[in-house]
Chains A and B, each alone.
Chain A
């Protein structure tokens, strides 16, 4: 039971990290800070526009796979596979 509890706490910590990044790349860079970021350019893209239409989606992908990998490690560590 105790073991189960720390497993859940570690899971929550991972989720929190992921959701903070999730929020920053989409709501942060893509919406709230878009005008500021648009002054920077990435080739033909304005950076804020790029985050809103491309970058955030790539970041979401990275987050899911990273979380998935970390959770597989956690499953092994706590022997809950």
Chain B
């Protein structure tokens, strides 16, 4: 076994051992501990747990790569996936925490005094969470197969086993403490390569400052200016100004991601674990600090990785790399099929160009930008091993949070809340564990047999949360008179419009050939891409809800009193435990 592999085994199985130890220490004994960690998590701890819960395999592995190739256009992910926390901190979390229940469907059901509203929310939640979890399971399988060279399937089974152990045993309590550990693992694994690379390229070890610094090669040229020059020379769009679609598309995309973030149940649920309204507000701030640590490093990692890649292939203008002299990482990633070279002009050198007829780097998978980054920059082996453990921590922590959201909505909302209300706490706890186990098997199955639509699913999850759940919660809190019929009609309309738009451009259930308008930019409504359509769905939701409200009876007095009650922290209960 070579040194790198040994280090990787130590890093991956060392962190797994840590998660097991935490799981045994933090077993859940009651439904309150299982769903909301007994309401005793401090804001600082909760902030870290939200950070790990939120930052998925996509944030860790894919985002910097997306930014590397999109340049300025990639900003929608940076602003979109952080700006939602402002909405959470001010518009949602404090009041939902005050209401003091365990789940998002439960809040919607109480506020809109309607089982139908609760069921609609459960459906939205399950679709959004299941689509999201497929990506995490794939991330686990991919991380194992790349770094440890085990089969994708075997990697997936190991990942399922680890999540099973701490999520089923510990519920929200076990998940929370494990996520705190996973946050530390993933942020260390992400920032250390960033610091190394920033220091190598610019002499400034802080990536956020390095990105705005001059290159350390003595030329005195700013890194970003050099990058702009290099990419435009090869015919690509200028890095710092390349838009994604038009301005309106970027606006709608950012807004969709922001309100989608604020409407994703597995994130909102985490705010039910803290002891008070005050702590809920503070949690959002701490969470964003921990998230911002990664999100402000990511653009530096992206730009620097792109620069390193270009520089490796073409160290100076016209001096292209001989294919036979390509570095070891190039060969390694060629084996995985994520990097492909084809010598079109037969000169034995590598040409990288925006012109498809001349470009010989026929495939450069964007995920490589983070995964291969340490090797491209010649970083020590232990750093590469750390990236493997970090990627797994990011995927596992998000998967666990999603599993909890799914199992609580089935065992607590559907079974206990609607079908069999006389269930005892002990039975409910057992049911919660059984449902969680089944969910893990189901998620694992989907990870092994990813449905054809897997690629488009994360966008769908955000679209659903943005167009259905977020507006319902906002109206529930900010309008005292919003009634059951308005909320239900709004949710269905928002959801319907968004799904219709996504399906008509991407195919029904993403099946190729079933899209009836074609996935061409020319067909898009005002140039808004399907991924960005959640914001439009949300507007439809609000509009339909208020029109229906005008035509029907407003919410009764006891509901208005309920709203007044959760708008003020006065008389709050220490933790959600009225069950």
Contacts and interface: CB of A to CB of B under 8 A. Distances in A.
Contact of B281 (A1, A57, A61, A71): A71
A40 interface: no
Interface of B is mostly: helix
B299 A54 contact: yes
A60 B254 contact: no
B295 A57 contact: yes
A80 B67 CA distance: 45
A37 B225 CA distance: 16
Among A19, A22, A43, A44, the one with the most B-chain Cβ atoms within 10 Å of its Cβ is A44
Contacts of B67: 53
Nearest to B75: A52
A46 B474 CA distance: 36
Interface in A34-77: 34-35, 38, 42-46, 49-50, 52-54, 56-58, 60-61, 63-65, 67-68, 71-72, 75
B565 to A, nearest CB: 9
Given A26-B83, A49-B241, A81-B278, A19 B90 contact: yes
Contact of A75 (B212, B213, B278): B278
B136 to A, nearest CB: 24
Among B67, B86, B211, B284, the one with the most A-chain Cβ atoms within 10 Å of its Cβ is B86
A19 B79 contact: no
A48 to B, nearest CB: 8
Given A68-B281, A75-B278, A31 B251 contact: yes
B251 A27 contact: yes
Given A7-B568, A43-B213, 17 more contacts: A1-B564, A8-B567, A11-B567, A14-B90, A27-B251, A32-B251, A44-B225, A45-B211, A46-B241, A49-B75, A52-B72, A53-B74, A60-B85, A60-B86, A60-B288, A67-B90, A81-B570
A80 B79 contact: no
A64 B288 contact: yes
Interface in B268-314: 278, 281-282, 284-285, 288-289, 292, 295-296, 299
B579 to A, nearest CB: 25
Contacts of A7: 568
A7 B95 CA distance: 14
9 A-B pairs closest in CB distance: A44-B222, A52-B75, A80-B570, A44-B212, A64-B285, A53-B299, A43-B212, A45-B212, A68-B281
A46 B223 CA distance: 12
B250 A61 contact: no
Contacts, number: 136
B397 to A, nearest CB: 21
Contacts of A64: 85-86, 89-90, 281, 284-285, 288
A56 B86 contact: no
Interface in A18-36: 18-19, 22, 26-27, 30-32, 34-35
Contacts of A80: 568-570
A78 B296 CA distance: 38
A15 B211 contact: no
B208 interface: yes
A68 B89 contact: yes
Given A22-B86, A72-B278, A44 B567 contact: no
Contacts of B296: 53-54, 57-58
A37 B478 CA distance: 35
Contacts of B83: 22, 26, 56, 60
